[in-house]
Amino acid sequence: MGRKVLVLGEVRDGSLRNVSFEAVAAAKTVAEGGEVVGVILGESVSALGAELIQSGADRVVVVESDKLAQYTTDGYSQALMAVINEEDPEGLVLGHTALGKDLAPKIASKLNSGLISDSTAVEEAGGNLVFTRPIYSGKAFEKKIVTDGLVFATVRPNNIAPLEKDESRSGDVSTLSVDIKDLRTVIKEVVRKATEGVDLSEAKVVVAGGRGVKSEEGFEPLKELANVLGGAVGASRGACDAEYCDYSLQIGQTGKVVTPDLYIACGISGAIQHLAGMSNSKVIVAINKDPEANIFKVADYGIVGDLFEVVPMLTEEFKKLKVHS
């Protein structure tokens, strides 16, 4: 029997984040042939509804308000709860992003519902929906099923492949009016300390530096390589602590968790806290002068050498490949 499943389309800088389309794909599996209803919250965002439908949603409900222009827990929870009360879904899927990690537990509490967070896969097996999620900082995985009530999950970015976009697909985009009130938090200004270009948490390629980059200037070759590969730059906590870069780039147990197709670790020793944030990357390349560095234990490919010699060589070779491709 099919389910009606709501999926939150997450908006950043006027565009839907990639994890929104991955969440739609997960919602399709959860729906088991039922209806997937996209939800978009924000200010002047109704035009984004068509893109969510083209990516697999059957229809979209939009809540627009100037009080939703920036994310606040109170504002978004009021808006999403209003949609939930209107639609009465049997499933709910959000991205496991900073927004999703904050919003999902609050909604689960309001609904008195369970929540499967940080799912990396969802599949039907033996008549049950089986969710896979990492535990113990990614050292192991557990499988969970929902035995009763709402099927509520958040999905980790870059793990569930989005459906192929079909621009001929159409569906209803409706607007729900919600009176957003009693906000305890007001966003006056947003100050971002992040790299320009590709979002680190959604990047398909990540070039990360550790203490081995030696200085802020040492990140420049990494930035050039990331730019050639269309990727993002990350860092270990050691590099952030040494003030070589901002903490917004930190990858690890106390930073961002990334799962790109390609992770290039430059001058990173491989502390267990860092591995927790990147060990599930599809392909890991390690560059380090120390052949005994722990990072080589998780790497698919290892290069023992000086990153300041190796990284520029890689950059030049990738440039040649792009020219001839």
Residue 226 pLDDT exceeds 70: yes
Give percent of the chain with pLDDT exceeding 70. 98
> Does 194 score more than 60 pLDDT?
no
User: How many other C-beta atoms are found inside a 10 Å radius of the C-beta of residue 193?
Assistant: 9
Confidence of residue 71 (pLDDT cuts 50, 70, 90): very high
213-225 pLDDT, tens digit per residue, is 999 999 999 999 9
Q: Are 169 and 62 in contact (CB under 8 A)?
A: no
pLDDT above 80 (res 196): no
pLDDT of the residue at 1? 65
pLDDT of residue 199 exceeding 90, the answer is: no
pLDDT over 90, % of the chain: 87
Residue 193 has pLDDT above 70, yes or no: no
Same fold, 5-175 and 200-324: yes
Once rounded to an integer, what is the mean pLDDT over residues 218-246?
96
312-325 as b/e: b if 16+ CB within 10 A: eebbeeeeeeeeee
pLDDT of 298 reads 95
- CATH class in words for 200-324: alpha beta
Residue 291 Ramachandran class (φ > 0 left, ψ -120 to 50 alpha, else beta):
alpha
Average pLDDT, the chain: 94
The 10s digit of each residue's pLDDT in 150-179 is 999 999 999 999 999 999 999 999 999 999
Question: What is the residue extent of each domain of the chain?
Answer: 5-175, 200-324
273: exposed, middle or buried (C-beta count within 10 Å: 0-12, 13-18, 19+)? middle
Give residue-wise pLDDT tens across range 19-48. Answer: 999 999 999 999 999 999 999 999 999 999
Q: What is the mean pLDDT of residues 100-126?
A: 96
What mean pLDDT is predicted for residues 83-95?
97
Position 127 scores a pLDDT of 86
Which CATH fold topology does 5-175 show?
Rossmann fold (3.40.50)
- pTM of this prediction? 0.86
From 310, 197, 214, select the one nearest 264 (Cα to Cα). Answer: 310
